[in-house]
A and B are shown apart, each in its own frame.
Chain A
Amino acid sequence: MEQKLRDGAKALLEQGKVDYIIGFEPGSLKFTTTPLITRDKDDIDRLVINPFIVNNLSAYLTELEGRVGIVAKGCDSRSIVSLIQDKQIAREDIVIIGIPCPGLIDLSKIEQLAGKDRDEVDDITREGDRVVIVVDGKKQEFPITEVLFDNCLGCDMPTPSEYDILLSESSPLVTDKTSSRKKIEGLKGTSQEERWSFWEKEFSRCIRCYACRNVCPACFCKRCFVEESEPQWISPVPQWQDNLMFQVIRNIHVAGRCTDCGECERACPVNIQLRSLAKEMYDIVDDLFQFKAGMDKEAAPLLTAYAVEEAEDFIR
């Protein structure tokens, strides 16, 4: 797949079909990749595909000018479609290089299993539906489902349906929807008071760095409500109640746009369980409106569409 990707990307640049290529290159730390955004064909040989291509690169599309060739996993391709639905980007300006995604490896799960920080793990290799972890020279094997991200386990579309180039036929991903919702169900099994104190503890450590918002392709507002001072919707001081409100409002704003790519939770430097909010909203949207974000570029965006039979008594 990597060679096909490099050949494809190089051709796009050489033929002047795109101004930029966005993909992944090896990161500077163990088991990481980092976004590569380039106009230079000499950079293209650095493009990689591996189980650590975590970023949702579509977050960059609204800031780049010109035509862009972008590497997209299933969830990323849905974010792209969602941006098209919201008229934030035009389909003809984007060349989608689709990766049928086998699921990504969650390094925090690896750390749990290995009992070590990620950089102390010698090696991680995926072998089909197993993963082999080497720690202090000792090999350990686990089912791949134990180390994939929760959102990958719940993936609704590992193979992009909207693409210009598809790097292979289809994804071998085996999902596990129950595990994917395990943390959420765990919370639902507790009392309201327990949940309240859980979220108090979570949001007490929020430092308001906005990484969750800035990695999120659905958060494309030029000016976010948190930065409005007249009126001031929430306080800029990171008190837990305001931190929680920030996230609650953010989740409402991205309802019907969030593709459950899991980036908010992964980016959060203080490990707040953000996906539990995002995924619950994702499922609520699906239950209530039979709507999944970014599935159909012709469909009207959820929050701007209206059907008469949806009328609630209070707005009659």
Chain B
Amino acid sequence: MASSNKKISKRDTGKLLNEWSQEFAVFVPSRETGVATMAKWDGKDTSFLDWHRNTVIPPKANFLPAMEEMFNFQRDKEGYHIELPPQDKHKQLIFGIRPCDAKALAILDMTFSDSYQDPYYLSKRKNAVLVGVGCTKAYDSCFCTSLGISPAESTDVDLMLTDIGDEFLIEAITEAGKKLISRSRGLAEANEADETRAKASKEAAYQKVTRQLDTDNIKQRLLANLENKDYWEKIAAKCLSCGVCTFLCPTCYCFDINDELVKQQGARFRSWDSCAFPVYTEMPMENPRVEKWRRVRQRVYHKYEFYPMSFDVTACTGCGRCIRLCPVNWDITQALNNLPAKV
């Protein structure tokens, strides 16, 4: 019996990406810059097909880059002339995004299309196609499964690929995904044996995620510990107030705005900012979180208490970057799992 899904051999995936390159700017996991990130595909290298986990730089950077020109300006006798930077008309196709990071984009969408429609983020995001690839071997920092995310399945992508040996099983998740499949060449029909292999592969992937976050009553437990200064002070002690955990978190979106000005012309940029920095929000006023424990607490509460209040979703996907990349191994799962039951 045939299934409605397709498949492609790993060997032919390069061809498929080349075909997609006619229509999209294709981005793939790459270490070409010196760090694992979603970079423009060079049309040749397919080594990323063997990668089995997420990148260091989250794919949010493709929509909310570390720095971005908002507009440029010139001043003459008549006043200021403002110009928008040239728009990249290419639609991005992100190949190899992991379920945690795809979920993170769905979470960011809520912020950037809430009461204010952010044109910079949304213009890039609107046309983008996400092709997910399931993880086959989670990092020891990954805890996606505790947050209801499977490492091998996603509803936040257009197409979802599962490693079934020498081939990928391809599932169309959205209408856009279905259309993309129907106009792509070189795809074979998946059969029942392929589906069985995919199911086994997904189950195995799920088992590989071993880190656990205790999410029982988490909002209530956090609320009860809001003023537990002793606890937060103690666990915040080793934090260095750097920007690693927030900049590289796929759901953190704070940015700073700065003008670069030389003589009569310049540009306005936005760039990542972090609630961990003591100077955060000092430009408009003071940082209300002068003590370090308040800043550490803020990051946890924003993700697990405030975001759920606003959007009914936890703003953490268990991607593990903040644990793995923190220079002192500050661990959000420990912070949450060890919350005192009685204060």
Contacts and interface: CB of A to CB of B under 8 A. Distances in A.
11 contacts: A34-B330, A38-B237, A55-B328, A60-B237, A202-B34, A207-B66, A207-B243, A210-B242, A215-B327, A235-B258, A237-B67
Interface in A11-48: 27-30, 32-38
A29 B324 contact: yes
B271 interface: yes
Given A28-B334, A119-B139, A205 B35 contact: yes
Tell me what chain B mostly uses at the interface: helix, strand, loop, or mixed.
loop
Given A30-B140, A37-B237, A270-B34, A207 B327 contact: no
B327 A29 contact: no
A227 interface: yes
Contact of B256 (A32, A202, A236): A236
Given A28-B333, A29-B140, A35-B328, 14 more contacts: A29-B323, A34-B329, A37-B238, A55-B327, A201-B34, A204-B33, A207-B243, A208-B66, A208-B271, A209-B274, A236-B258, A237-B258, A237-B269, A266-B327
Interface of B: 33-35, 37, 53, 56-57, 66-67, 137, 139-141, 234, 237-238, 240-244, 247-248, 256, 258, 260, 269, 271-272, 274, 277, 279, 283, 323-325, 327-331, 333-334
Nearest to B269: A237
A34 B141 CA distance: 14
Contacts of A235: 258, 260
Contact of B242 (A27, A117, A201, A209): A209
B244 A209 contact: yes
A249 B330 CA distance: 29
A267 B274 CA distance: 17
Contacts of A55: 327-328
B331 A28 contact: yes
B33 A32 contact: no
A211 interface: yes
B258 A269 contact: no
Interface of A: 27-30, 32-38, 55, 59-60, 117, 119-120, 201-202, 204-205, 207-211, 213-215, 227, 229, 235-239, 263, 266-267, 269-272
Given A201-B34, A238-B67, A209 B329 contact: no
B243 A59 contact: no
A30 B329 CA distance: 11
Given A29-B323, A37-B238, A208 B139 contact: no
Contacts of B333: 28
Nearest to A236: B258
Contact of A27 (B56, B234, B260, B329): B329
B213 to A, nearest CB: 12
B329 A267 contact: no
A269 B248 contact: yes
Closest 9 CB pairs between A and B?
A209-B243, A267-B327, A37-B237, A119-B140, A214-B240, A34-B329, A211-B242, A35-B238, A270-B35
A271 B323 contact: no
B239 to A, nearest CB: 9
B34 A211 contact: no
B140 A269 contact: no
Contacts of A267: 242, 244, 327
Nearest to A237: B269
Given A29-B324, A32-B329, A205 B243 contact: no
Contacts of B34: 201-202, 205, 270-272
Contacts of A238: 66-67, 271-272
A207 B260 contact: no
B240 A59 contact: yes
Contacts of B242: 209-211, 213-215, 267
B212 to A, nearest CB: 12
A227 B279 contact: yes
Name the residue among B277, B283, B329 with the largest chain A CB count within 10 angstroms.
Answer: B329
A119 B138 CA distance: 9
A30 B269 CA distance: 39
A120 B137 contact: yes
Nearest to B241: A214
A160 B279 CA distance: 36
A75 to B, nearest CB: 16
Contacts of B274: 209
Contacts of B247: 207, 209
Contacts of B238: 34-37, 60
Contacts of B53: 117
Nearest to B246: A209
A119 to B, nearest CB: 4
Contacts of B271: 208, 236-238
A294 to B, nearest CB: 20
A238 B176 CA distance: 35
Contacts of A60: 237-238
Contacts of B66: 207-208, 238
Nearest to B235: A37
Contacts of A37: 237-238
